[in-house]
Amino acid sequence: MRTVLHPARAVALGFLAAIVVGTLLLMLPAARTGPDGAPVLVAFFTAVSAVCVNGLAVVDTGTYWSGFGQGMIMFMFQCGGFGMMTAATLLGLLVNGSPRLRTKLMTHMETRTLGLGDVAAVARLVLVVTFAAELIIAAVLTLRLRYGYDLPWGEAAWSGSFHAVAAFTNAGFSIHPDSMMRYAGDVLVLLPMMLAIVVGGVGFPVLHDLRNRWHDPRHWSLHTKLTLAGTALLLVGGTVALLLAEWHNTRTLGGLPLPDKLLGASFMSVAARTAGFNAVDIGALTQESLALHYFLMFIGGGSASTAGGVKVATVAILVLLVLAEVRGHADTEAFGRRIGASAQRQAITVVVLGSAVVVAGTMVLLAVTDFPTDHIIFEVTSAFGGAGLSTGITAQLPPSGQLLLTLLMYLGRVGTITLAASLVLGGRRMPYRYAEEHPIVG
């Protein structure tokens, strides 16, 4: 195993290759409106953002890029989202799957046969789910744009498809400079998008479990239960908190009637983790809302999904660990199951390393720019968590700052799905154990 390509490393290199190809494609003069091609930094930033289904942008997607360029970007985040879901599912199977399958996959890796059979089976399922969901949402959006906004059929279909794919893949790219702000209050646009975001962001293992055991919630896996409960809690809690924080802010939800307030807050809560569309102006949010966004964006969505962040189940494990400790229980438990010690250690590692990356990124960006701290933290968390929301400073950052954001986007998406797998597969038993000692805590 040590001599062949580690599966986690293969995934990391695959995304890197996609970024390089995407950069070259976006540098073609045909990708950009006007006669010249895009500068390398713009093309690179956009390719990273698209492949990592992030959505941060240094130029306006709808006017800077040609139809061909926008198509390339859509193709990249479609492939990126599909790749995230497939790669994370396979790595997850490798780590957590049945011993039989794990051995089978590892043998494939060792004999360099790449386990094409298993990869194909998972990929096929992901493909079916992806296209079925995207087709339905695209159709709904197209009809709404045709009859509600009088767009010609072609334009309605293009906008509907682009935003349906961007929603399901949680990429959050929009061909509008104001994202979804022109549809604020339109439940027939926002609700389908919220559905696409949630379904794409809940993760393949959960979708798989739901499909196979829809009528039997008691036999869902612990992962499914944790992810669904955590997602519901975050959506409802996020909506209520954002509603309170923006209730009197006339630049966002303040002046709206109650149903529009509710719709706006729930769309914000759904999109913050980690779709990244916005139906209100992010730059006009209160400081409380910005701070709420840090956490929603850092947590993100479900494992092996198109969503980013450290993932709902990871944070759930950490919270359950603390609750167990406070209640004096030796075991960390949920839904009548005990969470394994190694899963707990991995969860802590992912959260601590994720926090360290966000902190380091914030420090560097504070040092190379003069923007206020709350906007810097927002942009760094958005890049790392994959939300792609922006207070508006990303386009104004110096090249060093933009390069830092590309690194954060890559680490945030590719890093989190490969880390847990590398941890487990790289594990080795020590030939001896030291004597135990108990330092004072607190």
Subset of 290-329 contacting its own copies (CB under 8 A): 290-292, 295, 303-304, 310-311, 313-314, 316-319, 321-322, 325-326, 328-329
* CA angle (83, 406, 291) in 5-degree steps: 100
Q: 172 is in the binding site of which of its own copies, K ion, none (Cβ under 5 to 8 A by kind)? A: K ion
Q: Is 172 in the site for K ion (CB under 5 A)?
A: yes
Q: Are the C-beta atoms of 308 and 416 separated by less than 8 Å?
A: yes
**Burial of residue 284, with CB atoms counted within 10 A of its CB: 0-12 exposed, 13-18 middle, 19 or more buried:** middle
Q: Which two tokens stand for residue 141?
A: 């959006």
Q: Is 210 in the site for its own copies (CB under 8 A)?
A: no
Nearer to its own copies, 47 or 376 (CB): 376
d(C-alpha 346, C-alpha 303), whole Å: 13
Q: Is 249 in the site for its own copies (CB under 8 A)?
A: no
Q: Is 276 in the site for K ion (CB under 5 A)?
A: yes
| CA nearest to 308, candidates 150, 417, 192 | 417
d(C-alpha 218, C-alpha 215), whole Å: 9
Nearer to K ion, 224 or 274 (CB): 274
* CA angle (415, 394, 87) in 5-degree steps: 20
d(C-alpha 323, C-alpha 77), whole Å: 38
Residue 400 carries which side chain, given as an amino acid letter?
Answer: S
Binding to K ion, residues 32-91 (CB under 5 A): 55
Q: Are the C-beta atoms of 211 and 295 separated by less than 8 Å?
A: no
Single out the segment in contact with its own copies by CB under 8 A; choices: 45-53, 130-138, 231-239, 345-353. Answer: 345-353
Q: Is 130 in the site for its own copies (CB under 8 A)?
A: no
Q: Is 255 in the site for its own copies (CB under 8 A)?
A: no
Q: 276 is in the binding site of which of K ion, its own copies, none (Cβ under 5 to 8 A by kind)? A: K ion
Q: Which of 10, 366, 403, 407 contacts its own copies by CB under 8 A?
A: 366
Q: Is 148 in a helix, a strand, or coil?
A: helix
Listing DSSP states for 309-325 in one string gives SS-HHHHHHHHHHHHHH
Residue 385 carries which side chain, given as an amino acid letter?
Answer: G
Binding to its own copies, residues 143-162 (CB under 8 A): none
The residue count for binding K ion (CB under 5 A) is: 5
d(C-alpha 197, C-alpha 230), whole Å: 16
Q: What's the min distance (Å) between Cβ of 415 and its own copies?
A: 9
Binding to K ion, residues 214-273 (CB under 5 A): none
Q: Is 388 in the site for K ion (CB under 5 A)?
A: yes
Q: What's the min distance (Å) between Cβ of 406 and its own copies?
A: 21
Single out the segment in contact with its own copies by CB under 8 A; choices: 67-75, 163-171, 265-273, 339-347. Answer: 339-347
Binding to its own copies, residues 391-420 (CB under 8 A): 416-417, 419-420
Residue 235 carries which side chain, given as an amino acid letter?
Answer: L
Q: Is 46 in the site for its own copies (CB under 8 A)?
A: no
Q: What's the min distance (Å) between Cβ of 425 and its own copies?
A: 9
Q: Are the C-beta atoms of 70 and 38 separated by less than 8 Å?
A: no
Q: Which two tokens stand for residue 315?
A: 């944070």
Q: What's the min distance (Å) between Cβ of 11 and its own copies?
A: 12
Instruction: Give the residues lining the site for K ion (CB under 5 A).
Output: 55, 170, 172, 276, 388
